[in-house]
């Protein structure tokens, strides 16, 4: 049975990206190929898509899903931080649109077995690219308490960061942390009941922060937001879907401060009630869109 996959803000992405026949598009986070399928369908018969995915298992599933599009798809087992060099290698110096969907796929959360979710009990890995050397367990077992607290506070906006970091350090003096269940139990005990959030699990922000740190997600996002305008053709569009405030602020700032870009969405586009009911993971999504001004050319 194929993994359930519901691409977020799909209709809105296609509307704003406006794929056309003969256009060249980049999906910076291919995942299981949901957005990519719609982009390729909308750019028939000759539109081209370059799909970046650094999760090898997800990439293999996307290849099977998109196989019928043949040579119209270029699959790239790399992070989107290699955008400029990869497009140059492919002989595609400029593109008509770039999509960045910064969320995890259903496969990564539910079936990868790498500890992205606090549900179940999995190894504390959290590497999007398993070629990377540092796992979540490495971070938790080796990083000083103050640095752990900073990760939870800045990347997870977790107000109980110091309590949680202290509990982790205390625990690892007895035995190293190796599983998600261990981490969940530590967070549950460390945070006083009166501070447990009502709408999300108490460990949600810690898991988010740890994943961001392991994969250097904020640094990578800053780099691609800097590089992407340099590959856009005049009028080409850059669409970014973020899932937490740190990402959204970074996207908003990058769009507003780049004189080559025209911001098309003064306020972020958010999912409607029907989509949130169909796919609860969409509820925090925010889509922002900018276009390369016509007087600018690719550098």
* pLDDT, tens digit (0-9, with 9 covering 90-100), for 63-84: 999 999 999 999 999 999 999 9
Averaged over 271-289, what is the pLDDT? 94
pLDDT at 3: 45
Residue 257, CA distances (Å) to 34, 198, 200, 217, 220 in order: 31, 37, 34, 21, 18
Amino acid 5: pLDDT: 64
Query: CA-CA distance, 194 to 204, in Å (whole number)?
Result: 16
What are the structural domains, with CATH classification, of the chain? Answer: 10-108+218-292 (3.40.50.150), 114-215 (1.10.150.170)
If pLDDT is split at 50, 70 and 90, which confidence band does 54 have? Answer: very high
| Mean pLDDT for the stretch of residues 239-260 | 96
pLDDT digits (tens, 9 = 90+) for 169-214: 999 999 999 999 999 999 999 999 999 999 899 999 999 999 999 9
Closest C-alpha among 138, 185, 145 to residue 165: 145
The answer, yes or no, to whether residue 296 has pLDDT greater than 70, is no
User: CA 242 to CA 28: how far, in whole Å?
Assistant: 13
Confidence (pLDDT) at 111: 65
Angle between helices 10-17 and 34-42 (to 10 degrees): 40
Question: Residue 66 and residue 75: Cα distance in Å, rounded?
Answer: 10
- Does residue 1 register a pLDDT over 50? no
pLDDT digits (tens, 9 = 90+) for 5-44: 689 999 999 999 999 999 999 999 999 999 999 999 999 9
Q: Are 109 and 75 in contact (CB under 8 A)?
A: no
Q: Please determine, for residue 226, whether its predicted confidence score (pLDDT) is greater than 90.
A: yes
Distance, in Å, from the CA atom of 25 to the CA atom of 98, rounded to the nearest integer, reads 6
CA angle 41, 274, 31 (to 5 degrees): 45
Joined tokens for residue 136: 């979540």
Buried b (16+ CB within 10 A) or exposed e, 288-297: bbbbbbeebe
Determine the average pLDDT of the residues in 258-284: 94
Label the pairing between strands 232-242 and 95-101: parallel
Q: What string of DSSP letters covers 90-159?
A: TT---EEEEEEE-SPPHHHHHTS-SS-SSSS--BS---SSTT-S--HHHHHHHS-HHHHHHHHHHHH--T
Instruction: Give the pLDDT score at 132.
Output: 86
pTM beyond 0.85: the answer is yes
Could you give the CA distance from residue 212 to residue 210 in angstroms, rounded to a whole number? 5
What pLDDT is attached to residue 281?
Answer: 84
């Amino acid at each position: 049975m194929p993994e359930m996959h519901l691409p977020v803000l799909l209709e809105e992405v296609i509307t704003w990206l406006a794929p056309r026949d003969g256009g060249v598009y980049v999906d910076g986070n291919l995942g299981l190929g949901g957005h990519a399928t719609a982009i390729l369908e909308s750019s028939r018969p000759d539109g081209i898509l370059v799909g970046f995915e650094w999760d090898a298992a997800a990439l293999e599933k996307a290849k099977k899903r998109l196989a019928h599009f043949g040579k119209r798809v270029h699959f790239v087992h790399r992070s989107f931080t290699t955008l400029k060099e990869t497009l140059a290698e492919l002989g595609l110096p400029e593109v008509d649109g770039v999509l960045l969907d910064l969320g995890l796929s259903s496969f990564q959360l539910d079936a990868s077995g790498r500890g992205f979710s606090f549900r179940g009990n999995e190894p504390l890995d959290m590497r999007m690219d398993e070629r990377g050397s540092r796992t979540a367990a490495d971070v938790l077992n080796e990083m000083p308490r103050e640095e752990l607290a900073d990760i939870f506070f800045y990347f997870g906006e977790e107000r109980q960061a110091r309590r949680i970091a202290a509990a982790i350090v205390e625990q690892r003096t007895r035995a190293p942390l190796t599983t998600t269940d261990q981490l969940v139990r530590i967070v549950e005990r460390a945070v006083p009941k009166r501070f447990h959030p009502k709408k999300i699990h108490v460990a949600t922000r810690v898991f988010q922060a740890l994943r961001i740190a392991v994969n250097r997600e904020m640094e990578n996002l800053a780099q691609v937001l800097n590089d992407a305008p340099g590959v856009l053709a005049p009028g080409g569009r850059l669409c970014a879907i973020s899932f937490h405030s740190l990402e959204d602020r970074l996207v908003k700032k990058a769009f507003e401060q780049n004189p080559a870009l025209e911001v098309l969405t003064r306020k972020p586009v958010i999912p409607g009630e029907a989509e949130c009911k169909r796919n609860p993971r969409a509820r925090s999504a925010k889509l922002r869109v900018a276009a390369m001004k016509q007087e600018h050319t690719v550098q």
